[in-house]
Amino acid sequence: MDTNVRIDETNVAIIGGGITGTVAATTLAKLLPGARITLFDQGRGLGGRASHRRVHDGNVVAPTANAAMAFDHGCQFFRADDDEFRDKILDPWLEAGLAAEWRGTFAGAGDFFGLGGAGAGGPVYVGKDGMHQVTAGAVERLERDHPNFVARRGVRVGAVARAGDRWALSGVGGEAAIHDSTLTSAEVEAARAAAALGEWYDAVIVTDASAAQESWHRASAGIPEAFLAIAHRVQDRVRVAMFTAIVAFDEPVPVDYDASAFEGAGALWFAARTNSKPGCETLEKECWTLVSTPAWAAAEVERVPMRDAAGAFIAQSKECLEAPAHALLAAFAAEVGKLLPAHSYLYAQRWGSAFPAPLTHGRDADGRSAAVRESGGTAFDASPTGQFAGLGGGGGADSGGGGSASDFVYGYPGFYYAGDFCSPRPPGVVAAALSGRHAAEACARRLR
């Protein structure tokens, strides 16, 4: 540690406002109360995979606004089978009213992150009023309670460079920051490193899996090439793609469950009714999120690639999402076995990095198996859903506390990479949150 650096003069940058980034920010704020902490997120709103969408009169409105329709269109819920996660992260969320137990009626012969007929057992939790509350809600509390914390929303870090013994960040806001921007890739690349993002930083915690994927995704943070060699755990980890469809029905769907996990080789893996989740009971429409199987999503990414012939990222568009939306709705109708009510809203979301492939069922250290499908130079896991059973457990290798570097990457002094793509634990909220916590603890120890 540089003994000339005072804690109340220390700057820390966190790149990514999802589960990992917000847990890292909360942990640092407690351990280094005098430090200046800046969180950068390139999305329209904080949340990452814990995203929430509200729609009113056909228009997307703020996640906190009153709306007729609401959907968790990424992560659907999480378990709390890990003691450290439950005691250090979940309990504060529950006490703050950011999360609550989801006491729905669950069914299905499949297993979806430990939920369904085959994986029943133990409580499940969601963000109260939407999954985004455990990220956006936590950040709002930090903004209120921590005088030196700043969240810079809609700002994409495009380059990270060593500047003496500190770190310099540059990037862009506005249209060029958004991953599905209508700007061309050339325009985005020209703009992303155009401006310095404030002061130099004593430490940087990167949390977005796409940050290490130069040219693959517009969320790339321009990590120095020398560090990318150390971050191979993130670069080389096989990705699990998913599509979600969000649909609002004018009448109740004729089923006796609030969520169901399906098994088989078709398009649909999971369906959840938003209205059954805490804080969403009074929605005017009956709102459902339909989640694809990894195998179906991998085939769809092959059919409509995420990269062009030159390797540049292709942003998702309404046109490329129309077919997945209708396919998942048709699959839901087939599973219900009855005529579905008329719907007044239907949209889809492509998650190219929904979560990393688990390190089970004969996969290697990168999650690679015979079921991998290559698309544009990126490996996607297309295993049957049965090979993803029990992911909600949250334990796994090195699941105990202590903040060892087993679930985050540390390279240059003051540079950390965290998230479930770095972790040997089963992927999901627990792995992402604990990785962020442990990286922040290591960062705080160094800066002290």
Residue 383 has pLDDT above 50, yes or no: yes
- Which residues are registered as beta bridge partners of 286? 249
pLDDT, one tens digit per residue, over 60-98 is 888 888 899 999 999 999 999 999 999 999 999 999 999
Whether 351 and 292 share a structural domain: yes
pLDDT tens for residues 278-302?
999 999 999 999 999 999 999 999 9
In the predicted structure, residue 184 carries a pLDDT above the cut 80: no
pLDDT at 247: 98
**158 and 11 share a domain?**
yes
1 and 39 both lie in a single domain: yes
Query: Do 70 and 46 reside in the same domain of the chain?
Result: no
| Same domain as 439, residue 384 | no
User: What mean pLDDT is predicted for residues 155-165?
Assistant: 86
pLDDT in tens, 195-228: 778 779 999 999 988 877 665 555 566 777 667 6
Domain span at 269: 55-133+238-356+360-394
Strands 268-273 and 286-292: antiparallel
Q: Please report which helix (H) or strand (E) contains residue 327, including its range.
A: helix 318-336
Q: Are 292 and 381 found together in one domain?
A: yes
What is residue 162's predicted lDDT score, i.e. its pLDDT? 87
Task: For residues 105-123, give the mean pLDDT.
Answer: 83
Residues 185 and 332 in one domain: no
Burial class (CB in 10 A: 0-12, 13-18, 19+), 357: buried
Within this chain, do residues 404 and 386 fall inside the same structural domain, yes or no?
Answer: no
What pLDDT, on a 0 to 100 scale, did the predictor assign at position 3? 39
**Number of folded domains in the chain?**
2
The edge-to-edge listing of strands for the beta sheet with 155-163 is 155-163, 166-173, 195-196
30: confidence class by pLDDT, cuts 50, 70, 90: very high
Instruction: Count how many Cα atoms sit within 13 Å of the Cα of residue 435 in the half-sphere of its side chain.
Output: 34
Q: How many CB atoms lie within 10 A of CB 276?
A: 19
User: Looking at the structure, do residues 126 and 175 belong to the same domain, yes or no?
Assistant: no
Residue 170 and residue 203 share a domain: yes
Position 9, amino acid: E
Q: To the nearest 5 percent, what fractions of the chain are helix, strand and coil?
A: 30, 25, 45
